[in-house]
Structure 1
Amino acid sequence: MYHHVKNLLEDRLQESIVLERPKNKEHGHYATPIAFSLAKKQKKSPMLIADQIAKDLCDLWEFERVDALNGYLNITLSNAFFEYMIQKAFKEGNDFGAKKLKSQEKILLEYVSANPTGPLHIGHARGAVFGDSLCKIGRFLGYDIDTEYYVNDAGSQIQMLGFSIYFAGKEYYLGETVHYPDEYYKGEYILDVATLAKQEYGIDIFKDETSISLLSEFGKAVMLEEIKDNLLDVGIVLDKFVSEKSLYNRWEATIGKLEKNGGIYEKDHKIWISSSNLGDEKDRVIVRENTEPTYLAGDIIYHDDKYMREYDRYINIWGADHHGYIARVKAAIHYLGYDENKLEILLSQMVSLLKGGQPYKMSKRAGNFILMKDVVNDIGADALRFIFLSKKSDTHLEFDIDELKKQDASNPIFYINYANARIHTLLEKSSLEGEEILKASLEAIPKDAQNLLFNALSFPRAIEVAFEERGLQKLCEYLKVLSADFHSFYNAQKIIQTPTEASMLKVCRVVSLSITIGLKLLGIEAKTKM
C-alpha cells in the first residue's frame, strides 16, 4: 500500500516523494512535504504549489480526498483502494507482505557464536532471538540469507574446559581434594559432563593429565549439542556451524595476504596488524613471541573464509562487550584485500532479569549465570522471544518475568494473542459464510474501522522498515499498536448481528492476517483460542 501510493505520486509528479503518516489522524492516511522541496525549484510559495497539486491529484481513484494544509499535502485513501488492497492481501494469504526481489542480495548472517564451554545464558539468548528473527524477516522479504555459528574451539578456553571436567571427575569420582583455579569453569553442568565422560571412557579417564585433550574435545562436543538443544527450545536452527580449529590450516595463506597488502609488521618478536591506521585505537598483536596466533588471528582467518564465499553482505551479531573489537576486525578485512564496508556488525546488549521485583536467581547448574533454558521453562519461548525483541538490540533490557505471566494489557504477548483470539471467536459466532464476508462493501464502516483497516494493511511497510533499520522492536511496537486499536474498536462497536457485520468482519480478518504473519516472523505462533 505504501509503495503503491508513493510510486503513484512519483509517477504523477516526476519527483522523489517522502511519504509520512500525519500526526493527527483527522488529516488523512498519508502526508507529504513535496511542495516545500518544489518551492525551491519553482521559486513559489509551498502553499500555492500544494493547492495546485491537490487539484491535480483529485482524479486518482485511489484517493478519496487530497487536501493542502500549510504547504503539506494530506491524502485520504478511498474505500475502493482499500478494497483493492484487501483483495490483494487475501490472495497473498500467508505471503502477505512478502517480496520477490529482482536481484536477491546474498547475506551471511552470523550470530550466537558463544564459546562451547557451557550452556547458553540469557545474554546469548538475546542475540540468538534477534538473529533468528532478522533472518526470518529478511527471507520473507526476498533476501537470500544463510545463517552461521562460529565455534571458538581453538583457544585456551577449550583446554580450560577439559581441565575443569578432569578436576570435577577427580573430586567426585576419585574422592581427591581438588583446588580449582579461579578461572576454571564451575557449576553442576561440569559434573554432568564428567559423569558422561566416565560413562564413555571409564573412571580411569580422571587419573592421568594426558587425558585432558580428550576431555576437552569430549566436553566441547557435549556442550555444542546442549547449545543446539537450548536454541531449539526457542525454535532456532542455524544452517551451519563453523569450527575455528578447522580453519587454522589456512593461517599461513591468510597472514601472507596481510603481508602482501602492507597490513602487518614485526616488533618485539611479535607480529602486529596496523589496525590503528584504519580507526583502531592501537595496533594489535596477531602472533605472540612464542609464534602462537592470538585470539584475533582466529577471527581474521574466519573472516577471510567468509569473504572467499562471496556474499553481497556479511552481518555479525555480537555481544556489546565486543564493541572495541569492531575496528580491528574491519582493519583486518581491509588488509586481506576485501571491502570492509560489506561487513555490518550489530551489537546485542546484556539483559537484567527480575522476578517479583528482585534479581532473578542464578542457576546452580551454571554457577554464576541465568540460563536461557531456565527462563524458557519459567515463561515459555514465545514470551521470551517477544520481550527480547521489544527493545532495540543495542540498548539495555530489563524485565520482570512475573509481568509476562499476567493475563492483561500489561503483558504484550498476551494482549496481541488476545486480539487474534477475539477475532477468531467473532468469526466462529457469525453465521456468515467466508465468501459473504469477502464480498462485503466497505462503504458503511465507521471511521475507527477504516483506521484499523489502514493500520492492518500497513503491515508490509512495518516489516520492511524493521528489517532495513535492523530495528525489530518496530515490528513488536506495530503489533502492540494494531492489537490495542483492535481492542478499542471491539469495545466500542457491536459487530455480530448488525447491518455492517460482514464488512466489519472483513476488516477483522485483515487484522488477524497481519497479527498472525507478524508473530510468525518473530518466531511466535499466533493463538486462535485463549
Structure 2
Amino acid sequence: MSLYEGIKEKVLANLTQAAQSAQTAGELSFESLPNFVLEEPREKQHGDLATNLAMVLTKQAHKSPREIAAILIKHIDTEGTWIEASEIAGPGFINFKLDPTWLTGVIPQVLSQGEDYGKVNLGKGQKVQVEFVSANPTGLLHMGNARGAALGDSLASLLAMAGYEVSREFYINDAGNQIHNFALSLEARYLQQLGQDVPFPEGGYHGEDLIDTVKGLIAKVGDKYLNVEAELRREFLVRYALEEKLTHIRETLADIGVHYDVWFSEQSLHDSGAVKQSMEDLEKKEYIYEKEGALWLKSTLFGDEKDEVVVRSNGTPTYFAADIAYHRNKFERGFDQVINIWGADHHGHVARMKGAMSALDYDPEKLEIILMQLVRLIQDGEVVKMSKRSGKYISLRELLDEVGKDAARFFFILRDPDSTVEFDLDLAKAESSDNPVYYVQYAHARMCSILRQAEELGYAYSGIPSQDELARLDSNEERELLKKLADLPSEISIAARLREPHRMARYVLDLASLFHTFYNSQRVLVDDESLRKARLSLIHSAKQVLANVLRILGVTAPERM
C-alpha cells in the first residue's frame, strides 16, 4: 500500500469510528452507516481530502448535512491521520487539510523500493492472457498493428505491475480461406515473375511485398516449381512465404519492443480436432443447426443481428469456428481473465464470441474485448494515404524507420483506444517540448544531468536524508512534485483496473511538467548542505518514478539527449 493510500485508509476508518462515537453519545441516529467516499477535491483550495459522509447520513439522522458534519468533526480522532485542519464546505462536505510534511515520506519509499516502487497487488496473482496484433501473416504489419502492439504490450506490463501473472500471445492465422487466397496470390506472382501470362486471382493479396517474396524465392530455387502440380507448388509457396512473413513480423515487433510468450497456430486447432470438437459440443447443446447444407450458430440468442455460419456447405469450418475453439482453448489453459485487443471493425464479433463462450459453459465476463479505433498519419498538415513503397498503406517498418520505437509507442499509447489517433509524423520527430515523448525523455535526461553535476562537484549521494532534512522540501513546486510521486501506486491500480495504459502516459507527462516547473524555480546544487541533500534525493526519486513508468510504456529513459 502506498503512503497516500495508507493515510486515506486511516482517515476512512476514523470517520467510521467518529460516526459510531457520535451515535453512542446520542448525537447521531442511524441504523447502518451508508456507503460514503473520501477523495481529493477538484479544487486545491478545498483541501487535500473531502468526504460526503454527512450528506449521505441526512435521511437516517434527520439533521441537516452541516449539523452532521459539525458532529463528525467533533468526534473524529485525528491522531496518526496527518489531518491538520477540518472544515465544513458547501452543503455539507467535510474538507481535510493534511500536514504537508507527510509528503516527504514518499522519498524513503521510492529510494528503498527502486524499480519495485509503484507495484500493487490488485491482481493477487491471477493469470491473465493478453492477445494482441495477431495480424494475418499475408502481408506487412501496418499502422493499426503498430497501435495494437503498443497498447497490448503496455497493458500487459501495467497488469504485471499491478500483481497479475501475465502472458502475451500472438494468434497466427495460418489456416482457412485467407491462406487459400494467399497461396493463389503467391502462385500468380511466382508464375508471372517466370514470364507466364496468368491472371491475378480475385480476392488476392496485392501488396508489393509478395512480389519481393517470390523474387527472393526464385533467387534460391529458380523455376523448380514451375512444372509441378499446382497443389504441390502452392503448398511449398505458402510454407516458404509464411516462414518469411512470420520472421519479419517477429523481428518488426521486437523492434517496437514487443516480445510474446506464446505464438499460437490456428492450424494446430484443426490438426488436434479442437475445432471439430467445439462444433460437436455446441451441436449437442442445440446451439447449432443445419440449413442449406451448412452449420449455423444461433448467435441471435446472444444479441447478434443474424445467426452465423460455422461450417460451410462444403464441410470447411469458418474462421469464426476456429476462433471459438481458440477462445475455448484459452480458458482450458487456466487463464482467469482473457483480454483481446481488436480493431473497431470487429465490434460485431464481440457479442457472438462472448455468447459462444457462455454456450460452452465459460463465464463471458472473463473474456474482455478492447476495441481500438483507426490511425491516421499526418505529415505537413495533411493525411498521408499512400505508402511510397507499397502504394497501399504505411507499414510499421516504415514508421519505425521514420520516428523510432519510443515515439511510435508513446504516440499510440497517449490516447485511449476508443479515440482515433492522428499520428503527426513531423511532431514525432521534433526535438521540442511540443513533442510529448521528447518532453518526457528530456525530463529524465535533465535529472541525470543534475546528478552527474552533483557528483562532479563532490556532492556524492549519501543515502536517504533525515526527516529533518527532507522537511526542507516545503516550496509549492517541491510539494506538488512529491504528491505526484506519492500518487503512482494508486494511479497504477486505477489504470490496471480500468485497462487504461494511456493513464500512465498522461501521468508521466504531468510528472515531467511538474519536474520542469520545479527545476525552473528551485536551484538544486545550493551551498546549504541539508537543502541540497533533500533536493538531490527528490531528483533521485523523480528519476526512479519516471523510469518505472516509462518501462511500463516500453519507452526508453535516456540519460543524455
- TM-score by length of structure 2 reads 0.89
CA contact (8 A) 2:473 2:479 kept: no
Q: Does the C-alpha gap of structure 1 residues 3 and 515 become closer, same or farther in structure 2, counting only changes over 3 Å? A: same
**Residue in 2 aligned with 1:419?**
443
> Is residue 432 of structure 1 aligned with residue 459 of structure 2?
yes
How far 1:159 moved relative to its partner?
Answer: 2.1
Q: Does 1:472 align with 2:474?
A: no
Taking structure 1 as reference, are residues 162 and 42 closer, same or farther at Cα in structure 2, changes over 3 Å only?
same
Residue 400 and residue 501 in structure 1: after superposition, are their counterparts in 2 closer, same or farther (change >3 A)?
same
User: What corresponds to 1:114 in structure 2?
Assistant: 135
| Alpha-carbon offset, residue 261 of structure 1 | 1.9
Name 1:462's counterpart in structure 2: 491
Work out which of the residue numbers 464, 487, 494 in structure 1 matches 2:523: 494
Residue matched to 2:341: 317
Letter in 2 for 1:442: A
SS of residue matched to 1:496: coil
Query: Residue 377 and residue 196 in structure 1: after superposition, are their counterparts in 2 closer, same or farther (change >3 A)?
Result: same
CA-to-aligned-CA distance 1:342-377 (integer Å, 9 cap, x gap)? 111001111000111123363354441110111111
Q: Secondary structure at the match of 2:197?
A: coil
The aligned counterpart of 2:433 is 409
Q: 1-side partners of 2:385 and 2:227: how far apart?
A: 35
* Residue 197 of structure 1: how far off its partner (Å): 2.5
SS of equivalent residue, structure 2 residue 225:
helix
CA positional deviation for 1:137: 0.9
Deviations 1:372-399 (A, max 9, x none): 1111111110000000001011211112
**Residue 230 of structure 1, aligned match among 239, 247, 252:** 252
Task: Tell me by how many angstroms 1:231 deviates.
Answer: 0.4
Q: 2:549 maps to what in 1?
A: 518
Match of 2:30 in 1: none
Alignment of 1:91-490 (within 5 A): 91-100=112-121, 103-172=124-193, 174-208=194-228, 209-210=230-231, 211-248=233-270, 249-360=273-384, 362-430=386-454, 431-435=458-462, 438-439=465-466, 440-443=469-472, 445-490=474-519
Q: What's the secondary structure of 2:434's corresponding residue?
A: coil
- Paired AA for residue 84 in structure 1: G
CA distance, structure 2, for counterparts of residue 361 and residue 286 of structure 1:
35
Secondary structure class of the residue paired with 1:203 = coil
Quickly say closer, same or farther: Cα 1:159–1:201, change in 2 above 3 A: farther
The count of corresponding residues between Structure 1 and Structure 2 is 529
Aligned to 1:76: 97
TM-superposed CA distance for 1:77, in Å, is 3.2
Q: Check 1:124–1:206 CA distance in 2 against 1; reply closer, same or farther (3 A cut).
A: farther
Cα offset, 1:84, TM superposition: 2.7
Out of 522, 531, 538, the residue aligned to residue 507 of structure 1 is: 538
Which piece of structure 1 moves more, 336-345 or 128-137? 336-345
Decide whether the 8 Å contact of 2:11 with 2:81 is kept in 1: no
Deviations along 1:228-249, one digit per CA (max 9) or x if unpaired, are 1110011101111111111012
What is the CA-CA distance between 1:105 and the residue it aligns to? 1.2
Question: 1:41, 1:366 → 2: CA distance?
Answer: 70
- Change in Cα spacing, 1:218 to 1:155, as seen in structure 2 (3 Å) is same
**Separation in structure 2 between the aligned mates of residue 254 and residue 482 of structure 1, nearest angstrom:** 50
Query: Per the alignment, do residues 492 and 84 of structure 1 end up closer, same or farther by CA in structure 2, a change over 3 Å counting?
Result: closer
Write out per-residue CA displacement over residues 453-503 of structure 1, whole angstroms, 9 at most, x where no aligned residue: 101211111222112112222111111112112212222223321543332
C-alpha deviations, 1:124-148, integer Å up to 9, x for none? Answer: 1111111101001111111011111
- Name which of structure 1's ranges 181-190 and 91-100 shifts more when overlaid on structure 2: 181-190
Q: How many Å separate the matches in 2 of 1:168 and 1:104?
A: 50
Pairwise CA distance, 1:166: 2.0
Letter in 1 for 2:461: G
Deviation at 1:102, TM superposition (A): 8.0
Distance 1:40 1:485 in 2: 43
Cα distance in 2 between the residues matched to 1:32 and 1:515: 31
Contact 2:191 2:226 in 1 (8 A): yes
Moved more, 376-385 or 349-358: 349-358
Deviates more, 1:241-250 or 1:227-236: 241-250
Q: How far apart in 1 are the matches of 2:162 and 2:423?
A: 31
Instruction: Check whether the contact 1:110–1:148 (CA below 8 A) recurs between aligned residues.
Output: yes
Question: What RMSD, in angstroms, separates the aligned Cα atoms of the two structures?
Answer: 2.1
Which stretch of the first structure deviates more once superposed, 346-355 or 497-506? Answer: 497-506
More moved, 369-378 vs 33-42: 33-42
SS in 2 for 1:458: helix
Structure 1 residues 33-44: aligned runs within 5 Å = 33-44=52-63
Give the secondary structure class of the aligned counterpart of 2:167. Answer: strand
Task: Tell me, in whole angstroms, the C-alpha distance in 1 between the residues paired with 2:343 and 2:548.
Answer: 29
CA distance 1:203–1:337, change in 2 (3 Å): same
| Residue 59 of structure 1 pairs with residue 79 of structure 2 | yes
- Ranges in structure 2 where 5+ consecutive residues have no aligned partner: 17-32
8 Å CA contact retained: 1:166, 1:206: no
**Percent same amino acid at aligned positions?**
35
- Greater Cα shift, 433-442 or 104-113: 433-442
Q: Contact (CA 8 Å) 1:457, 1:510: kept in 2 or not?
A: no
Q: Which moved more, 1:240-249 or 1:52-61?
A: 52-61
Distance in 2 (alpha carbons) for counterparts of 1:462 and 1:321:
31
| 2:39 alignment partner, SS class | coil
Cα separation, partners in 2 of 1:507 and 1:34, compared to 1, 3 Å: farther
Shift, 1:165, TM fit: 2.0
- Give the secondary-structure state (helix, strand or coil) at the position aligned to 2:135: coil
Q: Give secondary structure in 2 for the equivalent of 1:189.
A: helix
Query: Distance in 2 between the 1:85 and 1:42 partners?
Result: 39
Deviations 1:85-130 (A, max 9, x none): 3212211111001134684211121111111101210111111111
Q: Give, in angstroms, the shift of residue 181 of structure 1.
A: 3.3
1:20 aligned to which of 14, 39, 47:
39
Letter in 1 for 2:181: M
Structure 2 counterpart SS, 1:410? coil
Alpha-carbon distance change, 68 to 504 in structure 1, aligned in 2, over 3 angstroms: farther
Please report how far the alpha carbon of residue 504 of structure 1 lies from its aligned counterpart in structure 2 after TM superposition: 2.6
Task: Return the offset for 1:61.
Answer: 4.8
Distance 1:271 1:182, change over 3 A: closer
Q: Structure 1 residues 358-367 or 439-448, which shifts more?
A: 358-367
